[in-house]
Chains A and B, each alone.
Chain A
Amino acid sequence: MINKDPMNTETPVIEIQNLVRRYGRHDAVNGLSLTVQPGQCYGFFGRNGAGKTTTIKCLLNLLRPDAGGVRVFGLDPRKAEVAVKSRLAYVPDLVAFYPWMTVRTTLEYLASFRRHWNRDIENDLLTRFQLDPTKKTTSLSKGQRTQLALIGAICPEPELLLLDEPTSGLDPIVRREFIETVIGAYQSGDPTRRTVFVSTHLISEFEGLIDEFTILEQGRELLSMNADAARDRFKKIRARLPQEMKLNLTGALQVKRSGREVEILANGNCAQLLAELKMHSPEELKTESLTLEEIFVASDVLKKAVA
């Protein structure tokens, strides 16, 4: 496969090209393309049913694409399943363990499939999460199951960590610990060999972690951007004018008015909109960036911008 960026000679960790996957007549994924470079933390956002899990399952060869292709570490997961899977770890939204095993035997079992297993990290995390190794997996809470799955995913120190809605349904403290663990324990290795691909709709919690993201809608890419660039491009301007008046707000994504007050969504043209507003001597003028979550919530409006 040809690498588009001549400066970047490294093989992308994930390459998805025109991926299509149908369930009967329903197109779950319909022409998705994206690239994840080594060392990135990539956010994969979308509503329920947007096709996030289907895409991730194609990366893992749990589903086969109907058209297009995926490559992981430059390899085709259908042909090189073991080579691909030995270099990644996956935490699904619903984790299941063998009910007759304890925490300790589950970890031994998971380790038996791996060439490498970091015992120090295992011990650190068991202590941190206060997980009792002698406990049966059936007696664990949902939060503890996710913690156990996370330990199982981090100890082999994989080059790619695939997280599918990892924190949904967990309490805020467990969620916070989960993210701190990804940052602290997982990212502590060689940064170019620590890539995270996380699908979530709890975006605000991952905001600081995300380098790039794709918003998926109905199986297609709605927007793919660098996180800092996105926060720079999409801004909300609030102004209170001395009286109601006509404004030239061309290029604004959205304008909401209530009497003398206007709220404008800027799409990379913040300076031009501010200049227009300043000409009318506003009593108050405020600008703030949209967070990634707000950008995601504004998807309907964004459709116009990217169309």
Chain B
Amino acid sequence: MRLQLDFKSGTPVYLQLVDQIRHAAASGGLRTGEPLPGIRPLAEELRVNRNTVAKAYAELESQGVIETLPGKGCFLKAVGSPLTKSARNDLLIQEIDRAIVAAHHLQISEADLLALLKKRLEAFARQHSAAHD
């Protein structure tokens, strides 16, 4: 799992870490039960405040993505979210709506948007199977 920060992105640094770790988990860059880098080495490597990394890990833990085993560190959690199916749907709908709004302003047609979505799903699936080979 490679993490890369961009101070120009406008997203707070800890949220960039959250997004990238979630991305790695979805694309197989990080597997269930695999340890995340320790807070200190990751902070040193990225040259960010330790509090920033700690905040990202706390956020991931509250989202149910990772779990902390005392004395052992943080690990990618096996089974998914503690939220109900409808709550999870609602969260995803917000993200989808954002993409639809963006597509409208970028003058991307409905058909193209659906095709792109399919393409991206395939890309993630490919990355995932490559990571597990």
Of residues A39, A183, A232, A288, which shows the largest number of chain B Cβ atoms within 10 Å of its Cβ?
A183
Give chain A nearest CB distance to B15 CB in angstroms.
Answer: 9
Q: A208 an interface residue at 8 Å Cβ cutoff?
A: yes
Within 8 A of A (CB), among B44-81: 44, 46-52, 54
Q: A288-B8, A289-B9 are in contact. Are A208 and B51 (CB under 8 A)?
A: no
Classify chain B's interface size: 20 to 34
Q: A144 an interface residue at 8 Å Cβ cutoff?
A: no
Q: B24 an interface residue at 8 Å Cβ cutoff?
A: no
Q: A179 an interface residue at 8 Å Cβ cutoff?
A: yes
Q: What is the interface of chain B mostly: helix, strand, loop, or mixed?
A: helix
A179 and B43 contact, CB distance less than 8 A: no
B52 and A208 contact, CB distance less than 8 A: yes
B47 and A208 contact, CB distance less than 8 A: yes
A274 nearest in chain B by CB position: B105
Q: Tell me the bound Cα distance from A289 to B12 in angstroms.
A: 11
B9 and A39 contact, CB distance less than 8 A: no
Q: B10 — which chain A residues lie within 8 A by C-beta?
A: 231-232, 235, 287-289
- Give which listed residue, B7, B8, B41, B105, contacts A278 with CB less than 8 A: B105
A291 and B7 contact, CB distance less than 8 A: yes
Q: Tell me the bound Cα distance from A292 to B7 in angstroms.
A: 9
Q: Tell me the bound Cα distance from A210 to B47 in angstroms.
A: 10
Q: A228-B12, A228-B13 are in contact. Are A183 and B50 (CB under 8 A)?
A: yes
Could you pull out 26 A-B pairs where Cβ atoms are within 8 angstroms?
A176-B47, A180-B47, A183-B40, A183-B43, A183-B44, A183-B47, A183-B50, A184-B40, A184-B41, A187-B40, A187-B43, A187-B49, A191-B50, A191-B51, A191-B54, A208-B47, A209-B47, A210-B49, A231-B10, A235-B10, A289-B8, A289-B9, A289-B10, A291-B7, A291-B8, A292-B7
